Structures are given as C-alpha cells and as structure tokens.
Chain A
C-alpha cells in the first residue's frame, strides 16, 4: 500500500478536530418533508488529504455534498471554507472560492467538444463578458493560454487524442476523467468527487486512482463519496462514515472497519441476531 495511513494523527471519533482543517461544518441539517436527510453536528475535513465519505445508500452523502457546494440550502447550520463562511453562498461563487465538485451522474457537456468542455472551466475569462466577447483581440491571448493549459491536462488524463470530439461520444469512464480534468481547470484548492468510480471499467479505475492521488500530491484537498471499498482503502488518508444523515464514525480504513457502529449501519443492527426465532 503506497499511502501511509497510520501517519495520520487525527483522533478517530466523529467530529474530531484536525489542525488546519480546510472545511469546518457545524450543525448542518436538511430535511425533506419528515425525513431528516442530513444532520451533521460537527465535521472537519483535513487539508492536503484524501478523505473518503462513505455510508450505506440514503445516508445523506450526496445531500451533504449538495449543501456544502451551494447546490441545495440547509435548514440550519453553517460551514466555513478556509475560515470564510459559505452559508447562503451561491454555487458558482463556491466554485470560484476554490471548492469544485463533480457529479454522481456525470455532467459532460455532450454537444460541446472536449477541448471546449475544458476551456469552459478556466476562471476570470475576459471573453466571458458580453461586451468584451464581441471583440476577439481582447480575449484571444488569454484563450491561447487557457487552451494550452487544457491540452496539458487532457494529455495527463489520456484524453488528448479526443480533443476535438464531442463529449457525448466519450465512454462512461472517460466522462469521469473529463469531469475531473475540467474541474482542475478551475484550479480548485479542494476537489469534491461524487462517486468517481461509478460505472468505470477496472482498467480505467487504476488510472483514475492515480489521478486522484496526484491531486493530493499537487497540494489539493480531496473529498470523495464512494461505494467501492477497494478504492476507498487504496487511496484514502481518512474516512468519514455517514448513516441516516449523521456522521457515525471517522478514522483510518482499519479503524472504521472494526467499528461496530459502522458494521451495524451497513448490515443492520441486528445482523448477528437470528430473527427467525423471534418472528
């Protein structure tokens, strides 16, 4: 195993404190009708690490993602990214502050070319204003730089040969790669990946894993939701387990694997009781 998870010095309890946490969440709740989808009392995401957010279906992982990135509004609560509050901040502004997400169902912009998908991600583009957009010389040189950067990233994600194809022609796994590469065009400090491995074939999985590790090695923070436990074990520095909207455990892979609450959440609290006798 390449990652030395034992070196992570955080306490293995839900809501544990991390020195220099990049994201701090307090009392965030969100209910849909009578169902409380998310109820997180306190949560800190460590900087420069790969943190996995796991939990059974319906645990509220994606809802939490949506709340933190401004795609949904919580009923209560507050959270800070780099010490600045993100409560009530619109999704596009969250991205501009350096927290960029991907989606569970990949959102490749199908009828745009791959290079245009990439270029779109770049921030502060002069040509994105309607008046300056009309006059090409104003944005042409910046566009060249953006294109260069986009091509470098496509090279790194093995998509360079598809540069001018429409994104709709990519396979499921390639779309995941494109989405990740596109997110990097925003130059995020923190990347939030919602099920990056879903629907990806095993051959592509290894390369996707490598790409995620590189994100950390570049100094970014990664938070990802995933169901594939092999992957979680292989790349995570830290693991957060959610069930029924709450954070029930935190720790290294081995810590949470031996935590009875986690086992209960995944298998049901009576998994070791023979219900047959009583029913």
Chain B
C-alpha cells in the first residue's frame, strides 16, 4: 500500500477543480434548501444549463468566452423564472416534483440524438476550454502536491476556482446576514407568518431560486472546464443528491457547510476507492493481493466504495445530525 499516494491523491480530490464544482453547486442548493426551505431536486439541471451555455456557444458558434459566461448566468436565471412562475405559488412538494422532472428533461434532451448537431449527444462537447488554457499563467508542467501531480491547467482551475468560490461564498454570507437573508429564513420557517408581516414571499422565493440557480450553473461550468468535456451523464439526479448529502454533512444553512461537506464527501469516497484499489492490486512480481480474493477483488471493489462511503456518512449523520458546522439547537426543532 502506497499511503503517500493514497493520502495525497485523496486530499487533492477534495480540493480540486472538480471539488470546487461540487462546492458551488451545493452552495447554490444551500441558498434554496438551507436558507429558503425550497425543495429543489433539480440542482443538476441548473448545473447542466450552466455547462452547456458555456460549451455550446464556444464549440459550435465560436462565441467569445465572455459572452458565453454571460449566457450561463442569463440562462440560469431564465430557468429559475420558468420553475418559479410555474410552481412557487403552489405547495412546496410541487417544486420538488417539477424540479426533478425538469432536470431530467434537460439531461435527456442534451443526450438526445435529435439535438446531437447542437449538444453532441452522448459524446458531449469538447474544445471549449481553450480560452481558459490561454488565460493560464502557470507553466504547463504544473506542480507536485506530495505524490500527486497537478498539471498547469488544473492548477490554474484550482487557484482561480478557489478565488471564485471565496467571492461567491462571501456574497452569500453578506446576503444571509442581511435583512434580506432574514426574510428568506422566515420563509423557510413559515411562509404564512412572513406573509402576515408584509413580506412578498413569492418575490423572495424567486430571487432565491435565481441566485442559487446561477451559483449552481457556475458550478456546472467548473465541472466541465475540469473534465474539458460536457457530457449529459454528468448531470444525472445523483449529482443533486450528492449535493444534498454534502450540505447536510457540512451543516445546512452555513456558508462553510457546502465547502467542508464537499471536502469530507470527496475525500472519503476517493480514499476508500484507491485504498481498495491498492489492496486488491496484483502485479506479475506479486500475484497475491493484500485482501483475499474470496472477499473482494479488482473487479468488484469499485462498487464497494459507495457502500463504505455510505456507512461512513450514515455514521456521521447519526452521531452528528446537525452536520459539521450546524447548530445543534436548530436541529432540535422540527420544521412544519
């Protein structure tokens, strides 16, 4: 077992550009669910809209990248308005149903053969990251993080991504401690009470949906910039559910929650994954793996990582239900 590689690789996974994408998507969801109480089960849809609003105009129509970035925000806001006007006046459950359906419609449309000319279908789109490569100030050979190599492009995504994340998190923090954020929390607690005190609940929910959606779309952008490819498969419902796991892990309605939650979540999964990979590995010189083959072998360890990660997460939630940064007192009262 190469513990140096396992640890440095797991740590890198927890802070990489891919992790930043999860942090952003979860931060957006935290605005919806954590602060406003909106049950959005289609956050992956916002991420997909963001990813393809960047990759389609650049790959297919050669737009200059700033326009594509602008389109990312515009289309996320448009999706929020569409979802909001159709469902926000109804009971909370309807938003959950509609968002999960819309997110799947988006993913399946992106995957559809009919739109392959535009979206690339199942193969997705590539070649939209050259602007980011041109902006990269780091040398191509990159750096070593202990035993993990980070190439120049990924290092650039990592550094700029953390700066972006800090800006977004600061904005969310400033918003949530303001009277505006107080209205959002009151809607989460009881929207009729907010209404009875003269707050325009619908307008606030719509704003929350737009802001959280736009943050989610930026997360989608970072995901595909890291992969250098936009593929519909990356925006399945699991993406949304991972985001929920992340914010519950880190602590709901805490700005740090999605960041720390993502780091723990990705670290645990990656750590289990490569530990098992190493423990089941055979080489010509050493044909006996560390773990007995009747228990586990190279062909089935991959399935096990989510089981083990699941156990670890379940344990954490059982012993610390409020998450890492959550407030125990808040957890004590049920939401109705």
Contacts and interface: CB of A to CB of B under 8 A. Distances in A.
Interface of A: 69, 71, 90-93, 95-96, 100-103, 107-112, 116, 119-121, 123, 125-130, 133-136, 139, 143, 166, 168-169, 182-183, 185-186
A120 B330 contact: no
A111 B330 contact: yes
A101 B194 contact: no
Contacts of B181: 133
Interface in B191-216: 192-201, 207, 211
A128 B180 contact: yes
A248 B189 CA distance: 38
B187 to A, nearest CB: 9
B34 to A, nearest CB: 11
B335 A110 contact: yes
B197 A186 contact: yes
Contacts of B182: 112, 116, 119-120, 128
Given A111-B335, A166-B330, A130 B180 contact: yes
26 contacts: A71-B196, A90-B200, A92-B198, A95-B195, A100-B198, A102-B196, A107-B190, A107-B192, A109-B193, A111-B189, A112-B189, A116-B182, A119-B182, A123-B198, A128-B179, A128-B199, A130-B175, A130-B207, A133-B179, A135-B174, A139-B178, A166-B329, A166-B333, A169-B329, A182-B197, A183-B196
Contacts of A110: 189, 333-335
Shortest beta-carbon contacts, A-B, top 3: A133-B178, A133-B180, A168-B333
Contact of A134 (B178, B183, B333): B178
A101 B192 CA distance: 11
A120 B197 contact: yes
Given A95-B196, A130-B207, A139 B179 contact: yes
B8 interface: no
B183 A92 contact: no
Given A111-B189, A111-B335, A95 B175 contact: no
Contacts of A91: 192, 195-196
A108 B174 CA distance: 25
B15 to A, nearest CB: 27
Contacts of A69: 196
B175 A134 contact: yes
B199 A133 contact: no
Nearest to A131: B180
A119 B179 contact: yes
Given A69-B196, A102-B196, A136-B174, A128 B186 contact: no
Nearest to A134: B174
B193 A111 contact: no
Interface residues of B, number: 32
Contact of A136 (B178, B198, B330): B178
Interface in B294-325: none
A149 to B, nearest CB: 14
Interface of B: 171, 174-175, 178-183, 185-186, 188-190, 192-201, 207, 211, 329-330, 332-335
A101 B196 contact: yes
Nearest to A182: B197
B186 A112 contact: yes
A226 to B, nearest CB: 18
Contacts of B171: 134
A92 B199 contact: yes
A109 B190 contact: yes
A100 to B, nearest CB: 6
Contacts of B193: 103, 107-109
Contacts of A169: 329, 333
A71 B194 CA distance: 12
Nearest to A91: B195
B197 A121 contact: yes
Nearest to A111: B330
Nearest to B200: A92
Contacts of A136: 174, 178
B305 to A, nearest CB: 35
A126 B188 CA distance: 21
B263 to A, nearest CB: 26
A95 B289 CA distance: 71
Most-contacted residue by chain B among A96, A116, A128 (CB, 10 A): A128
Given A71-B196, A92-B199, A135-B174, 6 more contacts: A95-B196, A103-B192, A110-B189, A119-B182, A127-B179, A133-B174
A93 B198 CA distance: 6
B173 to A, nearest CB: 10
A91 B333 CA distance: 27
A259 to B, nearest CB: 33
A15 to B, nearest CB: 27
Contacts of A134: 171, 174-175, 178
Contacts of B207: 130
Contacts of B196: 69, 71, 91, 95, 100-103, 107, 183
A128 B198 CA distance: 12
